[in-house]
Structure 1
């Protein structure tokens, strides 16, 4: 049984109220507009949620991963795009905590709170998604600087973000075995160019762009951590970010299920509510079962992370795989229960279905999660 502390439950109640009153009523308009809404940034900043993953000694709220997931779950119930905006800030925050030297932690990380910065995480490239070791962006050292050249894609929060964590090759011969390093790049640095916002199937209110680096000079002091250790920091970060993405799936599934359940009780056909038909009851039963199973895997992974347990990669992959696959099934069934009404944007379930799809893809595709799980169980 997953148990939460009184403090965690109080945070969940606060965020649930925020999501219901301030996010859910705006989600449809944000989706239709298809651009990152400034009012969302102001809203999340006002509640300090962009720094929830950072420790208190660097200006953050100091939430553990379990509390972070409770926050993301409540927001995802209302709007997947709002949740992924916050989740990607979390990925960047966890990466910084894994990678930064003590001096960088003291001088760089506190600026996120002080300057209310968004930080984007830049790993994927046009030719390397699941194959992260195949990236082509180069970082060549020249004295006390590195010169970066290359292209990143699928950059969440790209545009609004002021800082970009860029993974680049410092030793092409070594690649994932000590050849990839991480750099903190300013949006306004000479040579940095951002592509236009991508037109996406879902998460339309989340900013997603390409990032182009044309001989961008970065001080060696802003190489994050040790040279050649960037890939190791990424793998460590996934132990936290994959349960977070799993939570997005959980929240989207819950939001769609709750809406479909309410609709089924109110919608009449053949003289009675459609919820009284066994076909609908079986769909709702399957949806509820998948949600509860996903919840157990998500919070097991989060609480194991907080406890510093071993085999976190395995449990994070279990949660990410199951919860996001469940999200796709549950949101699709929610549309089916609403019938034709579910196919139009007057109701939120079609948006939730579109938003759910990408949770099976980013932070490691679900095929990659199966590879990780199989390797663990087979040794």
Structure 2
């Protein structure tokens, strides 16, 4: 790949975008308002994404997946988010939950779970955060105690996306409390059917209401030893390495939500008449649209460059992943607020999607590391040069 290729998508990428957009326009967007209003899982989108192999495009071909590269996966997430933020979490979280297995799992573990994910037999969620261990992941309290060849999990995980819907979960737990801060944490695959594994009530959220967010509760949940991902004590390092890659996908989600809001606002101002002409003809409106489009394209290019770095696993991925997520989510929040403003009173009603997009955009500044944490990551990477 030449330096210039970073700034141009391939014909294959653009063909993929068109294919995803067609699926989204026909089978995802028409249900988005209802999904939000009823706070229900977007089953129509789920079924359509599975049928088209867009639900987990990142799974390698060796495990029955389509083997989409990091940029292609971002394009899928972006295009789904353009129509429905909740639905875009299906491919996004499937990558987040399964990437630890891809990066650190044994071949046996990969063969056990990745083909099932690729076939749509179950989603894959990610259990890292706890109520008192969000940004400070090393302070987690969920523990796993060895019992013969097995491990027994006890504790809770909080804010878990698609919890209760997914069949598989990557879960981080303390396996050696004496190893020192962050050093005695290991990763496991937990299955929804495991005894002693249950879920808390669904959180009542501001946005992305179609994606259930619940606690994972482990009451002496017995896990076979071969379900540990990698070696004991390597879990937190693996979890943070995973986030370096998947923060890019949250950037893609943010870009998609922002694009949907800009499209909506642009269509509206072309049609809305005031003082005898389209409000799109007023210079003040044009300046707003120009700023929205400019900032969105800057965010998109940052996400695409970060995706290319993710594909190569570049040494500076930690900086670019954090930067892409931070810039794109801040931009999405700004653009969706401006979209509501451009629609005026109509933008404040549920008759238009702008208010939903604004609510959905907010979480992109928070999950997979708050944007304050992203700035810490960027600063540390910068100062270490």
Q: Take 1:19 and 1:300, find their aligned partners in 2: how far apart are those partners?
A: 25
Quote the residue 1:90 is aligned against.
95
Quote the residue 2:79 is aligned against.
74
Does residue 346 in structure 1 map to residue 351 in structure 2? yes
Instruction: Give CA-to-partner distance per residue, 1:234-258, whole Å, 9 cap, x none.
Output: 1211122001000111111111011
CA drift of 1:73 comes to 0.9
Instruction: Give CA-to-partner distance per residue, 1:209-245, whole Å, 9 cap, x none.
Output: 1111001110111111111111111121112200100
Does residue 239 in structure 1 map to residue 244 in structure 2? yes
Does residue 304 in structure 1 map to residue 309 in structure 2? yes
Q: Take 1:143 and 1:115, find their aligned partners in 2: how far apart are those partners?
A: 33
Query: CA separation of 1:114/1:46 partners in 2, compared to 1, >3 Å: closer, same or farther?
Result: closer
Quote the residue 2:165 is aligned against.
160
SS in 1 for 2:97: helix
> For the Cα contact (< 8 Å) 2:55–2:90, is it kept in 1?
no
Does residue 215 in structure 1 map to residue 220 in structure 2? yes
- Taking the TM superposition and a 5 Å limit, the aligned residue runs for 1:90-239 are 90-114=95-119, 116-174=121-179, 177-239=182-244
Instruction: Give CA-to-partner distance per residue, 1:122-175, whole Å, 9 cap, x none.
Output: 111111111111111000111101110001111111111111111000112335
Q: Take 1:140 and 1:252, find their aligned partners in 2: how far apart are those partners?
A: 42
SS in 2 for 1:51: coil
> For the Cα contact (< 8 Å) 1:35–1:197, is it kept in 2?
no
Q: Take 2:16 and 2:316, find their aligned partners in 1: how far apart are those partners?
A: 28
CA drift of 1:268 comes to 0.9
Aligned match for 1:336, one of 323, 331, 341: 341
Instruction: Give CA-to-partner distance per residue, 1:90-113, whole Å, 9 cap, x none.
Output: 111222101211222233322323
SS in 1 for 2:170: strand
CA drift of 1:115 comes to 6.2
CA drift of 1:277 comes to 1.6
Quote the residue 1:18 is aligned against.
23
- TM-score, normalised with respect to structure 2: 0.96
Q: Take 1:315 and 1:238, find their aligned partners in 2: how far apart are those partners?
A: 12
Q: Take 1:355 and 1:275, find their aligned partners in 2: how far apart are those partners?
A: 26
Query: CA separation of 1:335/1:115 partners in 2, compared to 1, >3 Å: closer, same or farther?
Result: closer
> For the Cα contact (< 8 Å) 1:176–1:231, is it kept in 2?
no
Q: Take 1:114 and 1:79, find their aligned partners in 2: how far apart are those partners?
A: 23
Total equivalences in the alignment: 379
CA drift of 1:114 comes to 4.6
Runs of 4+ in 1 over 6 A off after TM superposition: none
Q: Which moved more, 1:44-53 or 1:334-343?
A: 44-53
Instruction: Give CA-to-partner distance per residue, 1:3-30, whole Å, 9 cap, x none.
Output: 1222222111100111111111110011
Quote the residue 1:366 is aligned against.
371
Does residue 3 in structure 1 map to residue 25 in structure 2? no
> For the Cα contact (< 8 Å) 2:23–2:48, is it kept in 1?
no
SS in 1 for 2:178: coil
Instruction: Give CA-to-partner distance per residue, 1:172-198, whole Å, 9 cap, x none.
Output: 233554211011111121111111221
> For the Cα contact (< 8 Å) 2:341–2:347, is it kept in 1?
yes
Q: Take 1:68 and 1:59, find their aligned partners in 2: how far apart are those partners?
A: 16
CA drift of 1:116 comes to 1.4
In structure 2, list runs of 5 or more residues that go unmatched.
Answer: none
SS in 2 for 1:320: helix
In structure 1, list runs of 5 or more residues that go unmatched.
Answer: none
Q: Which moved more, 1:275-284 or 1:64-73?
A: 275-284
CA drift of 1:285 comes to 1.2
Q: Take 1:82 and 1:338, find their aligned partners in 2: how far apart are those partners?
A: 24
Q: Which moved more, 1:186-195 or 1:72-81?
A: 186-195
> For the Cα contact (< 8 Å) 2:55–2:120, is it kept in 1?
no
